Amino acid sequence: MFEADTNLHEFDRRMVWTGFRQLVPLALFVTLFGAAFGLAAVQAGLADSIIIAMSTLVFAGASQFATLELWGPQVPLFTLVITVFAINARHLLMGATLYPWLRQLPPGKRYAVMLVASDANWAMSLQAFNRGKPGIGLLLGGGIALWSFWVVGTWLGVQFGGAIQEPRQLGLDMVMGCFLLAMVVGGEKNLRTLAIWSVAACASLLAYRYLPENTHVVVGALAGGGAGLLWAEKTNER
Tell me: the pLDDT tens digits for 137-164?
Answer: 999 999 999 999 999 999 999 988 655 5
- Provide the pLDDT confidence category of residue 213 given band limits of 50, 70 and 90: low
Rounded-to-integer distance, Cα 185 and Cα 137, Å: 24
Residues 234 and 142 both lie in one domain: no
Residues 84 and 136 both lie in one domain: yes
- Provide the pLDDT confidence category of residue 237 given band limits of 50, 70 and 90: very low
Q: Mean pLDDT, to the nearest integer, of 105-132? A: 88
Rounded alpha-carbon distances, angstroms, from residue 104 to 7, 129, 199, 224: 9, 14, 34, 29
Domain presence at residue 166: yes
Q: What's the domain range around 52?
A: 13-187
Domain presence at residue 131: yes
Residue 46's pLDDT is 87
Residues 117 and 215 both lie in one domain: no
Residues 236 and 143 both lie in one domain: no
Domain presence at residue 7: no
Residues 62 and 155 both lie in one domain: yes
Rounded-to-integer distance, Cα 207 and Cα 217, Å: 8
Weakest mean pLDDT among 27-31, 127-131, 173-177: 173-177
- Domain count for the chain, please give it: 2
Residues 94 and 178 both lie in one domain: yes
Residues 35 and 131 both lie in one domain: yes
Residues 79 and 21 both lie in one domain: yes
Q: Mean pLDDT, to the nearest integer, of 42-49? A: 87
- Provide the pLDDT confidence category of residue 201 given band limits of 50, 70 and 90: confident
Residues 17 and 84 both lie in one domain: yes
Rounded-to-integer distance, Cα 175 and Cα 9, Å: 34
Q: What is the DSSP letter of 174?
A: G
Domain presence at residue 5: no
- Provide the pLDDT confidence category of residue 60 given band limits of 50, 70 and 90: confident
Residues 40 and 75 both lie in one domain: yes
Cβ pair 46, 65 in contact under 8 A: no
Residue ending a domain, among 187, 206, 228, is 187
Residues 105 and 200 both lie in one domain: no
- Provide the pLDDT confidence category of residue 3 given band limits of 50, 70 and 90: very low
Residues 228 and 136 both lie in one domain: no
Rounded-to-integer distance, Cα 229 and Cα 225, Å: 6
Domain presence at residue 129: yes
